[in-house]
Structure 1
Amino acid sequence: MTSLDDLPIRDDLRGLTPYGAPQLEVPVRLNVNENAYRVPEAVALDIVQEVARALPEANRYPDREFDALRASFAAYLGHGVAPEQIWAGNGSNEVLQHVLQAFGGPGRSLLSFTPTYSMYPLLARGVGMDWIGVPRGEGFTITPEAVRAAIEDHDPDVVFLCAPNNPTGTAIPLETVRAAAEAARGIVLVDEAYAEFAHDRSQTALSLLDEHPRLLVSRTMSKAFAFAGIRVGYLAAHPAVVDALRLVRLPYHLSAITQAAAVAALRHADEMLSRVDALRAQRDRIVDELAALGYEPYPSDANFVLVGGVADPRATFEALLARGILVRDVGLPGTLRITAGTEAETTALLEAMAALSGAGSAAE
């Protein structure tokens, strides 16, 4: 029987494993930074009706330029962003892939600051470009000086800044983003997948777009909009950047169903985002209560917390799973990443962590 090793795949893919996290049916799932709340029933009904209106025309290809969706995203983002500055894809990962297909490739390099989103090196490898991971500073922070130095040392073609950062939750000040945009000769993309969960949501790189034509800001509907199962990501950039992304997209890449669902959801942005504040409160509760138990949670501007001070992350992961609670071991020594859930889910998590701490098997 043929195995993967027998196939003529690319040499640089041999020995790799696919990206992914456990998908287990447990009562409390806090491992992949999903929104813990379901789409509100009234909003879901409007989405279904919008999809129903699109279905009779499903024999025709969808709007290749997704004009209605681009206008909706521009209105949602504000900051003077116009529809011609918007690009979208099937999740922000596809949008990032489009960026690297257009501006990366063999002989070019992608730089970011580690630890960061684990898809970045995989996306770089997928288009044959070099990956450069520069370690972050104390507390997983990056300063303007560090960014300028890294760009000067490595001269990358593309820079990705994850803000807030995954898996650490660390915010990136606007002066750091500005330093990257000023120092880089190529593209600087700020991945704001968790921007709506920040303590200060006004601190967005969208405010810098007019100053820097090679600056891109990506977002997703998966997190704040509870749309992880629909797969819609997008970015804002100079219209010329959007023109470049058209060169690499697959024909009609956004289905009519996807476009209809996203447009309908954006009509209800306030309601769709109404649970974000509740999740931010649970995130801060995780930080405060785990710190009181002797753990070392890092400050977070995302919908999750990286918890340090875990003596044996694998044992703690398994002990929580045995209690029906799924978290994420991201491979950073002494840590686990925990998504903010509902109040009940957070209570279950905190009670389990307290029990493990009291048993002396988790916190140092």
Structure 2
Amino acid sequence: MSSMLEKGGGTFKGIKLLLCENPLPPIDEAIAAAQAEVPQSNYYTEPFSEPLLQSIADSIGIPRRLVHINAGSELILRQLFDRLGQRVHLLTPTYPLFPEIAKCYTETRLLPENDFAFDLADLEIPDGTTLAVIVNPNNPNGGTFDMAPMPNLLDRYPDTRFLVDEAFIGLAGQSVAHLVPKYPNLLVTRTLSKAHSLAGFRVGYAILPEALADDLNTHNDAYPLSRPSQAAALATLQHEDKILERGIRLHAWTEQLAAELRALGVRTYPTKTYFFLADFTPHDAIELAAGLQKQGVFIKPLGNPTLGSGFMRVTTALPEGNARFVQALRELL
């Protein structure tokens, strides 16, 4: 797989189901806050987006020095892999960026016959691994891991850094961000692109051991966010109750969409998020995606040879968009 599978569609005018974008717009408070800052955009933000940095630290209950903010979490992930990704261990299938940017990697495969579930207590890390990556909730299937075994893993493998990517933690799953001050080998990355609907604002952050956080803050732009982006992020984080309510609504749409696909003979796998894996076998995902794009639906095949040619990750659209997607599928299948 290549992370390029995650790109594209920015100018597509139909239904976009390929980027795990939230179909709901930013909350009203975020839009208003961003608009209010536009006239002040001739000025920089506070260095290192200090108000947002402090807000994040306070919400997790950690020292502010452990937080690093940047323009999207992908940039942070690339920098962490550049520093620590000599020998990586992945739980696959995973976010396609990771196999691409790891210098070399081993893998623990999550199996479709187990609905891609896995007990982290059974995770074995190969000798010499510099970075082990756990995505929770996992992308591309949307399932979560029980994170209770995490402290034991951190103790068992003190020479391995564990990166927990919590890009979708606003939707489901147990966060381990509060454990970072206790474990020097734990790193956590997050984004406001997904549950918080701020993908276009490009706000990502990481909770890191002090030395690593200092390293990234020292070697990055001191003004990583625009004023509207920072304002939208601050406003959104002040209304997590709304984000949780929207997440429940998104998941309901996702479950309904999965049920409609199953009625068409498509196998779907359990999810706690607003996306899921679907196996269209015996149909070829590349051919289906091409046919769907002609009908105004932009989706891409998973491109994972281990799983086979029938797999696609499906993201919910708004209900009317889902109805159009199902109708287009019905004609193709």
Q: TM-score, normalised by structure 1?
A: 0.79
Offset, 1:161: 0.8
CA contact (8 A) 1:102 1:244 kept: no
Between 1:184-193 and 1:244-253, the stretch displaced more is 244-253
The residue number in structure 2 matching 1:7 is none
- What residue in structure 1 maps to residue 56 of structure 2? 73
SS of the equivalent of 1:216 reads strand
Indicate conservation of the 8 Å contact 1:32/1:328, yes or no: no
Letter in 1 for 2:212: V
CA distance in 2 between counterparts of 1:298 and 1:213 reads: 35
Listed one character per residue, the Cα deviations across residues 121-164 of structure 1 (whole Å, up to 9, x for unaligned) are 3333xxxx3333343344333333542x2x1x242111111111
Partner Cα distance (1:180, 1:318) in 2: 43
Shift of 1:46: 2.1
In structure 2, relative to structure 1, the CA distance for the partners of 1:212 and 1:44 (3 Å cut) is same
Distance 1:249 1:280, change over 3 A: same
1:88 aligned counterpart, secondary structure: strand
1:118 aligns with 2:96: yes
Q: Structure 1 residues 175 and 43, CA, compared in 2 at 3 Å: closer, same or farther?
A: closer
Question: In structure 2, what is the Cα distance between the partners aligned to 1:238 and 1:154?
Answer: 22
Match of 2:171 in 1: 197
For 1:286 and 1:178, locate their aligned partners in 2 and report how far apart those are by CA, in whole Å.
Answer: 37
Residues 1:50 and 2:28 aligned together:
no
The yes-or-no answer on 1:84 pairing with 2:65 is yes
The correspondence for 1:130, drawn from 104, 120, 124, is 104
Q: Distance in 1 between matches of 2:36 and 2:297?
A: 35
| AA partner of residue 112 (structure 1) | L
Of 202, 210, 213, the match for 1:242: 213
- For 1:197 and 1:57, the matched residues in 2 are separated by 34
The aligned counterpart of 1:182 is 155
CA drift of 1:56 comes to 4.2
Give the SS at the match of 2:199. Answer: coil
8 A contact 1:47–1:265 mirrored in 2: no
1:25 partner amino acid: F
Displacement of 1:210 in angstroms is: 4.9
Q: Between Structure 1 and Structure 2, how many residues are aligned?
A: 323
Q: Does residue 325 of structure 1 match 2:310?
A: no
1:157 to 127, 130, 135: 130
Match of residue 339, structure 1, among 297, 300, 315: 315
Query: How many Å apart are 1:225 and its aligned residue?
Result: 1.3
Task: State, as a whole percentage, how many aligned pairs show the same letter.
Answer: 26
Distance 2:4 2:263 in 1: 37
Q: Does 1:266 align with 2:244?
A: no
Q: Which amino acid aligns with 1:192?
A: E
The alpha carbon displacement at 1:167 in A equals 1.4
Q: Which residue of 1 aligns with 2:251?
A: 280
Deviation of 1:92 (Å): 0.7
Question: What CA distance in whole angstroms lies between the structure 1 residues aligned with 2:252 and 2:321?
Answer: 13
Shift, 1:281, TM fit: 0.9
Q: Aligned-pair RMSD on alpha carbons?
A: 2.6
**How many Å separate the matches in 2 of 1:297 and 1:325?**
19
- What whole-Å deviation, never above 9, does each CA across 1:11-40 have from its counterpart, x for those lacking one? xxxxx9956533152421111110101224
Question: 1:102, 1:248 within 8 Å by CA — same for their partners in 2?
Answer: no
TM-score normalized by the length of structure 2: 0.86
The answer on whether the counterparts of 2:120 and 2:145 sit within 8 Å (CA) in structure 1 is: no
Deviation, 1:247, is 4.3
Give 2:163's aligned amino acid: L
Helix, strand or coil at the partner of 1:229 = helix
Task: Report the CA distance shift for 1:341/1:45 in structure 2 as closer, same or farther (over 3 A).
Answer: same
Judged with a 3 Å threshold, the aligned counterparts in structure 2 of structure 1 residues 17 and 208 are, in CA distance, closer, same or farther, namely closer
Deviations 1:194-235 (A, max 9, x none): 11222xx4x222354354232122111111111111111112
Greater C-alpha radius of gyration: 1
Counterpart of 1:344 in structure 2: which amino acid?
Answer: E
